[in-house]
Amino acid sequence: MNKPIVNNTMEPELLPLQTGAGGTPFGELLSRNRWVQVLEIAAVFLPPLLLVIAFHVIGGDSPLLFMGGLWGANILMIGLVWLGIRLRGDSWSSIGLSLVPVSIPGLGWSVLKSIPVFAFAAGAFIFASILMANIVGIPEGIDRNNLGFLQGNLPLLLVSLAGVYIVSSFGEEVVYRGFLITRLEKIFAGRGKLTLIAALTVSSLVFGFAHYAWGAMGIAQTSFMGAALGISFIFLKRRLWPLILCHGYMDTALLVQLYLAP
């Protein structure tokens, strides 16, 4: 069985995409048939979308149920991604996630690499904000309809931070960068340089529209942010940990801003 070459840090050197020898017959089909790969992507995203809709219908305008639906959807997506990996006989490292024991040097390198990634992603987010402000105007303020309960509530802030680190910072990078870019490259394979460009573009747009509740401004901001994170994923030789840390910084900044909002 061909396995990724792994060092003793958080960050493995990843070989080209491949399917492990322990995969199932359906896993082989997932690895070779583009239409089945399209169905896999649909299977990862559609059930969580239905879950979010169900929570919205049941909970109405309840912000806690809204957040619960989003967290549940992200956890479900992670589980479905894991299922596809298992069917192929692969490991998490096939999509850029190293789960080897953490070493101090490995953690240090991941933190250092996350800093320029954060600057790049934050810059893309700000650029999109300026661009959209010139197109649709400047929003009157932060939409707190779904997260207003965080204002001045320290216990809920801490619980929310713990939740988003697991289901957003970690989960979204696994799903939208590691899984989606990797799978889209397989689907678009054979188109030269356009393969990677198409994979990055589609994954960024999907990530943006996943934040539709933020409105047009939010979709643009997260699409540009997703593009920056996707480019960083490729530039860092498909290592997810620096992106996960970067995403955590941005989520922390957003939630603390809502907590401190007057």
pLDDT of res. 170: 95
* Other C-beta atoms lying within 10 Å of the C-beta of residue 219: 20
Percent of the chain past pLDDT 70, that is, above it, reads 86
Looking at residue 140, its pLDDT comes to 57
Residue 261's identity, in one-letter code, is A
At 52 the three-state DSSP class reads helix
Query: Which structure tokens are listed for 227?
Result: 């593009």
Minimal CA–CA distance to 97: which of 201, 204, 244? 244
Average pLDDT over residues 101-109: 81
CA 24, 180, 118, 214 dihedral sign is: negative
- Which of residues 24 and 6 earns the better pLDDT score? 24
- pLDDT score, position 11: 44
Query: Phi, psi (5° rounding) for residue 91?
Result: -125, 170
pLDDT of residue 9: 44
In one-letter notation, the amino acid at residue 255 is L
Helix (H) or strand (E) holding 149: none
Answer yes or no: is pLDDT of 14 > 60.
Answer: no
Least confident residue range of 18-22, 111-115, 168-172, 246-250: 18-22
How confident is residue 148, by pLDDT bands cut at 50, 70 and 90? low
| Closest C-alpha among 196, 213, 225 to residue 131 | 225
Q: Which residues pair with 5 in a beta bridge?
A: 13
The CA–CA distances, whole Å, from 227 to 58, 77, 197, 221, 262 equal 34, 20, 10, 10, 32
CB 223 within 8 A of CB 211: no
Q: Give the pLDDT of residue 146.
A: 57
β-strand partners of 13: 5
151: confidence class by pLDDT, cuts 50, 70, 90: confident
Q: What's residue 22's pLDDT?
A: 55
Return d(Cα 67, Cα 50) in angstroms, integer: 14
pLDDT band at 75 (very low <50, low <70, confident <90, very high): very high
Indicate the pTM of the whole model: 0.85
Which ranges in 89-173 belong to alpha helices (H)?
A: 104-136, 154-164, 171-172
Q: So what's the pLDDT on residue 199?
A: 96
Question: What average pLDDT does range 186-209 have in this prediction?
Answer: 92
Residue 178 has pLDDT above 80, yes or no: yes
pLDDT in the model for residue 167: 86
* Average pLDDT of the residues in 239-243: 96
Q: In this structure, are residues 259 and 157 in contact, taking their beta carbons and an 8 Å threshold?
A: yes
pLDDT of 25 above 80: yes
> Of 115 and 30, which is predicted with more confidence?
115
